[in-house]
Amino acid sequence: MKRLTLSYLIFLLLAGFALLFIIAPLIGLFFSTNFPDLFAATADTQVHRAVWMSLGVSAASTILSIFAALPLAYLMARRDFWGKGMVQGIIDIPIVIPHSAAGIAVLGLISRDSMLGGLAQSVGINLIDNPIGIGLAMAFVSIPFLINAARDGFEAVPIRLEQAAHCLGASSTKVFWTVALPLAKRSVITGLVLMFARGMSEFGAVVIVAYHPMTAPVLIFDRFQSFGLAYARPVAVLFVGVCLVVFVGLRWIGRKK
C-alpha cells in the first residue's frame, strides 16, 4: 500500500477543492428546484423542441464536420510545411475569442450581403434564424476540439506502420483508412464527443445567429430574462440532466468500443 506523504495529502486536498468547485453549483441547482416545477418543464412542448433542436443540430454539425476535420487533423499530424504554426493558431481561434464575437463573425458569413448568404437566399433559404445557421455557429466554436483530439491520435500512431503499408503497395488513402484511422479511433471518438457536447451547450454564438428557433441554452436565457430565476431554473436542471446522460453515455460507448 502506498504510504501517505504530506505532498500526497496536499494534492488530495486541492483536488477535492477543485471537484467541489465543479459539483457544488450543480448540486445547488438540482436541490433548489422543486419537483412540480421540474415536472411542468418536462411536460412543456417548447422545452422539448428546444432540447431536440440542441441535440439534433449539434449531432448533424458534428457528423458533417468529420469530412473536413479529419483530413486536416491528419495533415497537421503527418506533414511539416511552412506556416504550420499559423495554421494551428487559426484552428484554435474559435476557442480563445469571445463567443459573442464568434456569433458576429458567423453572422457576417451567412448574412444576405455575404456570398454564402446571398447564394442561399437565391434558392429561397434564409440562413439567419434557421437550423442551418445554428449548426454553422455550433460547428465554428466546437470544431477545434475534434481537430486537436484527432491530431493527437494520429501523432500517436507509429509512422513505421504507415511506411510498412506503403512498402506493401497500399495507397495513401488506403493507409489512412486501414492503418491511421483505426489506430487513432479512440482519440477521434473523444474529439467527436467533445465537439458534440460543446456544440449542444453553445449559447453566445447561437443567440446572435438565431434567437428563433430556440435551442435549449437560448430558451433558458429567454425565460430567465423574461420571468426570472424561478422560471428558468427547472429548464436548466432538465437540460443539464440531459447533457450529463448524453455525455456519460457517449463516453461509455467510446470506451467500450
CATH code of residue 225: 1.10.3720.10
Q: Is residue 51 part of a domain?
A: yes
pLDDT tens by residue, 19-67: 999 999 989 988 888 888 889 999 999 999 999 999 999 999 999 999 9
CB atoms within 10 A of CB 80: 6
Let me know: does 181 contact 188? Beta carbons within 8 Å: yes
Q: Is residue 150 part of a domain?
A: yes
Total structural domains in the chain? 1
Q: Is residue 14 part of a domain?
A: no
Give the residue-averaged pLDDT of 241-245. 89
Q: Cβ-count burial of 199 within 10 angstroms (0-12 exposed, 13-18 middle, 19+ buried)?
A: buried
Range of the domain at 165: 44-256
Q: Is residue 205 part of a domain?
A: yes
pLDDT tens by residue, 177-191: 999 999 999 999 999
Q: Is residue 12 part of a domain?
A: no
Q: Is residue 3 part of a domain?
A: no
Give the residue-averaged pLDDT of 213-220. 95
DSSP character at residue 170: -
Q: Is residue 143 part of a domain?
A: yes
Q: Is residue 2 part of a domain?
A: no
Q: Is the pLDDT of residue 255 over 90?
A: no
SS3 128: coil
CB atoms within 10 A of CB 152: 17
pLDDT tens by residue, 90-114: 999 999 999 999 999 999 999 988 8
Question: So what's the pLDDT on residue 219?
Answer: 96
Question: So what's the pLDDT on residue 254?
Answer: 67
Give the residue-averaged pLDDT of 122-136. 92
Mean pLDDT of the chain: 91
Question: So what's the pLDDT on residue 2?
Answer: 58
